[in-house]
Amino acid sequence: MELKERLIQERKAGGFTQEELAVKIGVSRQAVSKWETGDALPDLPKLMSLADALNISMDALCGRKISLASPTPVKEAAPSKSRLLRRIANFALIVFLVVGSFFAGTRFADTKESKEVLTPSLPETFSVSGERFYVDSGNLFYQFVPGITGEVYTYQITFAGMNNSPQTFTATYSDGICTGTADLSEHDIYSVVVIVSSASDSRAVAIASGLNFSRTSGHSQWMPIE
């Protein structure tokens, strides 16, 4: 089956009109029409975007046969934006829990060798409330109230973007509130994780997803994670 025929078949199977598919991958409806009539072919970046939008592999979209020895991929419905953001937030939380556990183990080993316990152990659960993100003078500021407080603890906040690598910033603790400034690209959507650490342990909790902001308008929005 040729690309044009496969494209028509998968577009209809996904329930897209030509215009809807064009908007999804950032091209004109006429471009999609020409691809389906065979008058033009998409370049490699557009081909990748088409495969992602239709939730199939590039091989399948181009009509390339898959070896019988390989299992046939099961086509799943494309996740909604909110579900995708939650998956990103959960993934970020898992990553930082694993990283936090590693460094916590290292710190605990050092403490045991010196036979000194500098700070008390952290509780099993960690919560955050009063999270806020706002733009002032072109900078993105954040604040939150940690459920575990004390001058002996350190606090960090990590922003995991959909298009950029995760970035971690130190949150300054004072009078029960953590605050700070994040130097982030405004052209991305972020999931946010807060980490509290002692000399022997650490905890992490996801507090927000879908965070985006504009330095020009001073607008910011996000979805709290219950």
Mind listing the domains of the chain with CATH numbers?
A: 3-61 (1.10.260.40), 81-224 (2.60.40.10)
pLDDT at 104 (0 to 100):
53
pLDDT at 114 (0 to 100):
45
pLDDT at 166 (0 to 100):
93
CA gap 171, 150 in Å, rounded:
13
**Residue pLDDT tens, the chain, 226 long:** 678 888 898 889 989 999 998 898 888 989 889 988 988 888 888 888 888 888 888 778 777 654 444 455 555 555 566 666 666 666 666 666 655 555 555 554 554 444 444 556 788 888 999 999 999 998 999 999 999 988 789 999 999 998 888 999 999 999 899 999 999 999 999 999 999 998 888 899 999 999 999 999 999 999 999 7
Task: List the one residue out of 137, 138, 155 whose CA is nearest residue 146.
Answer: 155
CA gap 171, 101 in Å, rounded:
20
pLDDT at 115 (0 to 100):
41
Query: Any idea which residue has 């954040």 for tokens?
Result: 142
And the tokens for 148?
A: 């575990």
| 116 Cβ contact partners less than 8 Å away, ≥ 6 residues apart | none
3-state SS of 26-46 is CCCHHHHHHHHHCCCCCCHHH
User: CA-based angle 222:223:226, to the nearest 5?
Assistant: 145
pLDDT at 75 (0 to 100):
54
And the tokens for 104?
A: 């916590």
What is the spatial order of strands in the sheet that 154-161 belongs to? 128-136, 139-146, 177-182, 167-174, 154-161, 190-197, 202-213, 220-224
| Bridging pattern class, strands 220-224 and 202-213 | antiparallel
Q: CA–CA distance from 158 to each of 136, 176, 213 (Å)? A: 20, 19, 16
**How many residues in the chain?**
226
Q: Could you count the other beta carbons within 10 Å of the beta carbon of residue 170?
A: 11
